[in-house]
Amino acid sequence: MSHPVSPNVQGVQPVLSVQDLTVRLPANADRAHAVERISFEVFAGRTTCLLGESGSGKSVIAQTLMRLLPPSVKPVQGHVRLLGEDVLTMSADRLRRVRGERMAMVFQEPMTALNPVMSCGAQLDEMLAVHTTLGRAERRERILDIFERTRLPSPTRIFDAYPHQLSGGQRQRVMIAMALILKPALLICDEPTTALDVTTQAEILKLIRELQTESGTAVLFITHDFGVVAEIADHVVVMRLGEMVEQGNKLQVLQSPREDYTRTLLSAVPGLAPVHRAPVAEAEPLIDVRALGKTYSTRRFFGARKDVHAAREVSLRVRPGETVGIVGESGSGKSTVARCIARLIDPSSGSVLSQGEAIEHASGQRLKAFRQRVQVVFQDPYRSLNPRQTVGESIIEGAVNASQPRAQAWARAEELMRLVRLRPDALNRYPHEFSGGQRQRICIARALACEPQLLIADEAVSALDVSVQAQILELLDDIQKRLRIGLLFITHDLRVANQICDRIIVMHQGSIVEQGPAHEVFTQPLHAYTRSLLDAVPGRGFEFHGAAA
């Protein structure tokens, strides 16, 4: 059925009007349509959020608006009107003018959206050269001005820098500057803050709001993060498997949802209210890290050596059945510490004790035995799994390499598939045949195949939908209780850390600035940096229906 579009704003015509949009998928797809009979509007100076899980059709809508769909995916019904013009019937020449001048897009991953062999300034200059008659000096002045407005440090340095020379937050600001430099009427943001830490995310959201206020830009914001929706949305459209579930203003959808699906999503949002967990029994630590340090040194030709201290004097312990969380911004040293503990990289100083034995310089059989006791679950499960191996082969590989008979390893893999709530007969399938959440479950099963004592989860749920994230967190908690393993949980999402961790370690610029029981760190933070992280959590204080804020 057709859904009502969002209400008009004081009689003003919408910047974007999507009416009964249906986009057909190829014949071999898992469903006939990517989106079916979708209708909504976006008004000047206001933000409409498309909210839904992976596969709901959010990004397909964004690509349809920009006419970026592959030939095999086609709009077959409906209209997409931008300032009264139907984008779907525009000529190629007209579309080239409209892109950038009237609508622009900020993609999720700026490193893949930016040209790696062009400087940032040159990429914006190219847009101005195509769309304006400004001279070279005027174009440079305008680029430096937009860099300053997007709060990029040292605009002249950024102008000459290449994307790989910038941080993730800086690259995203360059993308926003590129999208806004021609002052488009519509800005489309497709998950632009998903992979960013909370403080950078807060800065990007604030920047979008400020620029929107200055220019009256209409914003279509695509996300699965309810905190971001609470922070930035005026109007919310909830989607599921290509269909619109409900839409309305932010307060109505997030606090008084009409549909069960919306309520289910909201109930899965992790909160920041204190979570009281049963105390962990005193026991010998599974891992005892003492004054760990990691320094990277670089030297240019005929230049002085430059040292970068990724980790300094880091000490921590993880006991059986305990979950220790490490939180902090990108570049704080979280993942460096995890990789040093797992001996994926060698520490520069300090010691790592396992079963009372120092392993920082272990090699051969000692290192092999240690790596069986300590396993890692990485952020991106698709990159972690070999696409040419069945998931069964991936799961048993470590156990077989450790001299376990293949038949025994396979039987154990079937048990582990049941443990992570997947069917054992799926062992003969390949990674691309699973969803993101299922692939992460498979990675957890693979890590458990070697019967580890310690599991390191490095941003293992950061890219997952809120409902899948809740399932993975529940699964990890259940596995830990049943197997009494230790869990070192690394994340930049404080809501998630609050949900699962017994103790919290806060890292900043390679050092530990605060640590303690999770409920104390989150309710009574002692360090200013911890307080700044908590203040930056999107939607903090917003009362979601069915979830603590």
Instruction: Give the pLDDT score at 1.
Output: 41
Dihedral angle over CA of 354, 359, 362, 364, nearest 10: 20
Instruction: Give CA–CA dist 502/489, Å, rounded.
Output: 10
Whole-angstrom CA distances from 49 to 74, 150, 239, 248 are 23, 22, 10, 10
Q: Specify whether the CB–CB gap between 373 and 453 falls below 8 A.
A: yes
| pLDDT at site 451 | 85
Question: What pLDDT score does 308 carry?
Answer: 79
Give Cα 245 distance to the centre of its chain. Answer: 24
Measured in whole angstroms, the distance separating CA 304 from the mean position of its chain's CA atoms is: 37
Return the residue matching tokens 């992570």: 420
- DSSP annotation of 403 reads T
Distance between CA atoms of residues 76 and 177, nearest Å: 34
Please say whether the structural domain 16-113+183-268 has been given the CATH code 2.40.50.140.
no
Cα 284 from Cα 287, distance rounded (Å): 9
| pLDDT per residue as tens, the chain (549 positions) | 444 444 444 557 899 999 999 999 888 777 899 999 999 999 999 999 999 887 788 889 999 999 999 888 999 999 999 999 999 999 999 999 999 899 999 987 787 789 999 999 999 999 999 999 999 999 999 999 999 888 888 899 999 999 988 877 788 889 889 988 998 999 999 888 776 778 878 888 888 888 888 888 999 999 888 888 998 999 999 999 899 999 999 999 999 999 999 998 888 888 888 777 778 888 899 999 999 999 988 766 666 677 778 899 999 999 999 999 999 887 788 989 999 999 999 999 999 999 888 888 888 888 888 888 899 988 777 778 899 999 999 999 988 988 889 999 999 999 999 888 888 988 999 988 887 778 888 998 998 888 899 999 988 887 677 777 888 888 888 888 888 899 999 988 888 898 889 999 999 989 999 999 999 999 999 999 999 999 888 888 777 765 444
What residue ranges of the chain are covered by domains with CATH 3.40.50.300? 16-113+183-268, 287-297+308-384+451-536
Beta strands in 157-223 (DSSP E): 186-190, 218-223
How many other C-beta atoms lie within 10 A of the C-beta of residue 131? 15
**Cβ distance 494 to 315 under 8 Å?**
no
Q: Which two tokens stand for residue 11?
A: 């009689």
- Please choose, from the candidates 457, 56, 518, 539, the residue with its C-alpha nearest in 3D space to the C-alpha of residue 269: 539
Is the distance from CB of 5 to CB of 40 less than 8 angstroms? yes
Q: State the CB neighbour count (10 A cutoff) for residue 199.
A: 19
C-alpha dihedral, 16 to 19 to 25 to 30, nearest 10°? 110
d(CA 424, CA 416): 8
CA distance 398 to 109: 32
**Does CATH number 3.40.50.2020 belong to domain 287-297+308-384+451-536?**
no
pLDDT at 481: 81
Give the per-residue pLDDT at 301.
Answer: 60
The pLDDT assigned to 549 comes to 42
Phi first, then psi: give them for residue 210, nearest 5 degrees: -65, -45
Q: How many C-beta atoms lie closer than 10 Å to residue 306's C-beta?
A: 10
